[in-house]
Chain A
């Protein structure tokens, strides 16, 4: 044995090998016949998401299909990642609406401040995680894309457990 190797006195008097091996095999066999498997068969079967899951955005619409956004400018102001681009416009009745509303989902940190600050409950984070695009530009969602999303929206707190306990 090499010099300076720590010599540990093993408790060989108390151990067995054959019986411990059999014990281990009993355990693995129990798991083998156990019908409960932890794998989720992904494309067919999906993980259930928390009500507070914060995924890619969705813009809610009014009954006539227009975005609820009134272009107040609160969300680009509060956004810590500076990922929302908003150009406000005004129609002939004096109602404000967004001319351009773009969210760069790559910049977004999914903090949920935009949803929290929105006075019209227009912009929401979504309970959604399957985001794939062929280009980086594809991740800049414009107003049309945001209103077209159909996935459920995030509840920033669980109504049954508002303090998150």
Chain B
């Protein structure tokens, strides 16, 4: 009888709880709560996506199952469980079966390190509102989100279907390309915080300016890379309905297909939570300093959790909003955007931010309002340059079709030569002048 009492030692409410028993039980409870809310949330997101797409297209969306269609996810889930599981003859079964889980698990696990509220005081001490407050929180997320690609690639390969394979290949290329830009874009954030623990990053933002005001361009790169990482439009090339039927999950049915779907939404939630945490102050309530002052209460925990939910939902909405606005990139555009634009921009941005920080440190300015203001000023100038001056030209243009005139001549020459090769009797000298002459006549 005395064992649980000993395990759960009563302690000061405002001091972080110690002891294995408290740790184990609180972690279990947090896991269950987070998992439940997360899965229900992901299910509701499928409805949200359909509703938002419908509203954007001047329709009503699903409204038959339950009030305002709220029970639609339940009906969909039931349908997917009841459906027949199909296995293509040529598929490699072990991987075919395991792939959905491999896509799904990393998406879910990444959530473990994201703090979602201010610490909760209990009679056993202060419990931090994060499933696992890892010191290497951010690196853990980078590692896990990269793992998600294995599920997709293996699904594409194991299906033994050409569409699936192409989808899987595209996905791997896309993830590799954008992973780098994503990792590099967060370095300025980590430089500012001086730490990779997400709770420290939140704390730093709570006591200064939010990173979105200081590091807008890093946020921009991170957001675009997050869209690519989660395979959402305008980067949904692995799926690409119009080209690849359903890409890597063409051959999947029933709950296995559903798992890919859940994984996509789970990834989206994780990416949204990351954006909220790294650039929008996580669970911190803007302006007010009330919620991160010392006497923690349950009310503060609830309020900050709600604040965090609002921030995450905003980004989820942004994901959906963009999905139903922008068309898909062409494959070469995707690659050039990733390698020729995002990567150099991220690298250059690190240099700029690091120099500014070095300059501020050298001039003896402590981290505080003045420091933030200086960064804000630099940021404002950079944003103006990038989005007003450069965007007006060609760098962020989606159409990397602009060719050097010399390149164009070379390509036209190739065309001439190939035409000549097909008609060996034609005189070589007549070739280049002929199109010019006809062009002159038509004009």
Query: Which residues of B have CB within 8 Å of A5?
Result: 411
**Contact pick for B408, options A7, A12, A15, CB 8 Å:** A7
**Contact pick for B418, options A1, A4, A7, CB 8 Å:** A4
| Category for how many chain A residues contact B | 20 to 34
Whether a CB of chain A sits under 8 angstroms from the CB of B355 is: no
CB-based contact B401/A10 at 8 Å: yes
Whether a CB of chain B sits under 8 angstroms from the CB of A37 is: yes
User: Of the 9-residue stretches B54-62, B262-270, B287-295, which lies at the interface with chain A?
Assistant: B54-62
- Distance in Å from the Cβ of B88 to the closest Cβ of chain A? 32
Which residues of A, 1-55, contact B by the 8 Å Cβ criterion? 1, 3-5, 7-10, 12-13, 15-19, 21, 24-25, 27-29, 31-34, 36-39, 41
Whether a CB of chain A sits under 8 angstroms from the CB of B123 is: no
- Binary per-residue interface labels of chain B (389-420) against chain A in the complex, 1 for a CB within 8 Å, 0 otherwise: 00111101111011100001001101100100
User: Of the 9-residue stretches B42-50, B108-116, B319-327, B363-371, which lies at the interface with chain A?
Assistant: B319-327
Interchain CA distance A9-B63 in the complex, whole Å: 47
CB-based contact B52/A32 at 8 Å: yes
Q: How many A-B residue pairs have CB under 8 A?
A: 81
Query: Which residues of B have CB within 8 Å of A18?
Result: 387, 391, 396
CB-based contact B58/A9 at 8 Å: no
Give the interface centre of B52, B56, B326 by most chain A CB atoms within 10 Å.
Answer: B56
CB-based contact B397/A28 at 8 Å: no
Interchain CA distance A25-B408 in the complex, whole Å: 35
- Specify the main secondary structure of chain A where it touches its partner: loop
- Specify the main secondary structure of chain B where it touches its partner: loop
**Contact pick for A28, options B56, B59, B392, B415, CB 8 Å:** B56
Given contacts A24-B326, A28-B321, contact A17 B58 (CB under 8 A): no
Query: Which residues of A have CB within 8 Å of B412?
Result: 7
CB-based contact B59/A12 at 8 Å: no
**Contact pick for B58, options A4, A16, A25, A34, CB 8 Å:** A34
CB-based contact A12/B418 at 8 Å: no
- Distance in Å from the Cβ of B64 to the closest Cβ of chain A? 9
Query: Which residues of A have CB within 8 Å of B393?
Result: 12-13
Task: Name which residue of chain A comes closest to B387, CB basis.
Answer: A18
Interchain CA distance A19-B52 in the complex, whole Å: 22
Interchain CA distance A3-B414 in the complex, whole Å: 7
Query: Which residues of B have CB within 8 Å of A24?
Result: 325-326
Interchain CA distance A16-B394 in the complex, whole Å: 7
**Contact pick for A12, options B57, B326, B397, B411, CB 8 Å:** B397
CB-based contact B396/A16 at 8 Å: yes
Query: Which residues of A have CB within 8 Å of B415?
Result: 3-4
CB-based contact B402/A16 at 8 Å: no
Task: Name which residue of chain A comes closest to B332, CB basis.
Answer: A1
List the 3 closest pairs (A to B, CB-CB), nearest first.
A10-B401, A12-B394, A12-B402
